[in-house]
Amino acid sequence: MIIMKFGGTSVGTAARIKNVAALVSSVPSCPFVVLSAMSGVTNSLVEIVGYLYNRNPDGARETIKRLESKHLQVAKELLEDSSADTFIKETFAGVAALTREYFGPVQEKMILAQGEQLSTKLMELYLKKQGVNVVLLSALDFMRLDDQGEPDQDYIREHLAPLIEGKADLYLTQGFICRNLRGEVDNLQRGGSDYTASLIGAAVNAEEIQIWTDIDGMHNNDPRVVEKTSAVRHLHFDEAAELAYFGAKILHPTCIQPAKFANIPVRLLNTMEPSAPGTLIDNNPEPGTIKAVAAKDNIIAIKIKSSRMLLAHGFLRKVFEIFESYRTPIDMICTSEVGVSVTIDDTRYLSEIVHDLKRYGTVTVDLDMCIVCVVGDMDWENLGFESSVLAAVKDIPVRMVSYGGSNYNISLLVKEEDKARTLQALSRQLFA
């Protein structure tokens, strides 16, 4: 069985939904299709939730009306009848009813779940009209979180198996949504539909998990900045994990782990060009190759220098505890005997963090920095790759270099204003 997941823009209009329907019904074996909400819908549902937390039901009602007409309009264009209208109206009546009740996290999750319920219902009705024997499964019947709030993979496997025993041309379900341990409606966090696809793939031991988007495949560098880029056809799961932090456009980071452990290949494909090979991600390394360069802006570097670090133990723990207490993740880190530099991309508690760090040393902050990461076979016993990366940036001021954290990556921290020339220089050096 193959799993085919389509994101919000791939089902964002009636025409797009028809396009996806044609694609999935042309697969000869029975595929398992996972859909996101139509593009923008989850954001609007988040908006509604915001109004309700702020006790502004009128604000919420306006957005509810707008979303309802949008879905009715798409349904009319797609189905050319009113077969979806009752479902759509009842869905939004349900949301509107929540505006009159006590509002808390349980109600919030129920509202956020509606986007995927609607998109899959529209797809089901359209496929049925085309004569496809589609079975719509409710993700709420098998997707479940455990006591840690993590997907319960045993539960998912056991509960999904009997649901797909019958005869169908294809199975369809909602991405993103699930139940928690208390049986309440919950979700896998924003962008979580990729995660759904990966969890289903692992549960049914799929041949392949396909993530379909409308973006033009994966490039070995940023095509907006570098003139000549080429497509990346193959990545190791660990390389994809390194890159996920940067583009996140390729696939959601959480989706990698279930597929990697179950050893199921993930293929990134483009709905606009369905016959293109896309990018295959699996557990096979490709020795001796550099795959891609990626960058992330809005990075802050913080240096803590202290003569007390010299020969002392426990210094790093104290420093890290401060970041932990403000729930601020550290991305890059470099140490010397007398100091440590770290980067963060979440500035919410920057001044508090800096204030607390001053207990342990002299603190310097560099704003507007950019992490540039080179991904590929960076096994430390290989010769020449690190020096080649550093040779490329010989004319660019480099604030930090991080190497050896994984076998697949070397990262540089440069000024944001130097990002373009860093990417260009690396491209010339590594891919010319």
Cα–Cα distance for residue pair 17/326, rounded to 1 Å: 43
Min separation Cβ 39 and ligand ASP, Å = 8
CB 268, min distance to ligand ASP, A: 14
> Which of the choices ligand ASP, Mg ion, none does residue 355 contact, using the CB cut-off of 5 to 8 A by kind?
none
Q: Which does 37 bind (CB under 5 to 8 A by kind): ligand ASP, Mg ion, none?
A: ligand ASP
Supply 79's token pair. Answer: 């189905």
Q: Please tell me what DSSP assigns to residue 37.
A: P
Which is nearer to ligand ASP, 177 or 301 (by Cβ)? 177
Residue 193 Cβ vs ligand ASP, minimum distance, rounded to whole Å = 3
Q: Which is nearer to Mg ion, 115 or 258 (CB)?
A: 115
Closest to 141 (Cα-Cα) out of 115, 122, 161, 123: 161
Task: Closer to Mg ion by CB, 217 or 285: give it.
Answer: 217
Beta carbon nearer to ligand ASP, 49 or 373: 49
Cβ distance to Mg ion smaller for residue 36 or 198: 36
Residue 373's alpha-carbon distances to 12, 100, 194, 222, 336, in angstroms, are 33, 50, 24, 12, 21
Count of other CB atoms within 10 angstroms of residue 397 = 8
Assign 302 to helix, strand or coil: strand
Binding site for Mg ion (CB under 5 A): 7-8, 36
The least CB distance from residue 42 to Mg ion, in Å, is 7
**Which listed option, Mg ion, ligand ASP, none, makes contact with residue 339 (CB within 5 to 8 Å by class)?**
none
**Which of Mg ion, ligand ASP, none does residue 361 bind to, with CB < 5 to 8 Å depending on kind?**
none
CB of 162 to ligand ASP, least distance (A): 26
Task: Specify the DSSP element, H or E, that contains 296.
Answer: strand 290-305
Asked whether 63 and 48 are in contact (CB, 8 A), the reply is yes
Residue 181 and residue 186: Cα distance in Å, rounded?
Answer: 10
**Rounded-to-integer distance, Cα 432 and Cα 420, Å:** 17
Closest to ligand ASP by CB, 193 or 221: 193
Nearest distance from residue 19's CB to ligand ASP, in Å?
A: 18
Is residue 252 within 8 Å of 194, Cβ to Cβ? yes
Residue 356 CB, shortest distance to ligand ASP, in Å, is 33
Binding site for ligand ASP (CB under 6 A): 7-8, 36-37, 42, 115, 175-176, 190-193
Full DSSP string of 103-117: -SHHHHHHHHTHHHH
- Closest to ligand ASP by CB, 7 or 265: 7
Q: How many residues does the chain have?
A: 432
Select 7 or 265, whichever has its Cβ closest to Mg ion.
7
* Residue 214 beta carbon to ligand ASP: minimum distance, rounded to whole angstroms: 13
175 binds, among ligand ASP, Mg ion, none (CB under 5 to 8 A by kind): ligand ASP
Largest CA distance in the chain: 76
Name residue, tokens 């190791």.
236
- CB-based burial label for 167 (10 Å; 0-12, 13-18, 19+): exposed
Tokens of 70: 């949008």
Closer residue to ligand ASP, CB minimum distance, 51 or 195: 195
CB of 196 to ligand ASP, least distance (A): 8
**Closest to 370 (Cα-Cα) out of 417, 430, 425:** 417
The CA distance from 33 to 174, in Å, is 9
Residue among 44, 283, 11, 3 nearest 171 (CA): 3
Distance in Å, CB of 201 to ligand ASP, minimum: 15
SS3 337: coil
What three-state secondary structure class fits 100?
A: coil
Whose Cβ is closer to ligand ASP: residue 176's or residue 385's?
176
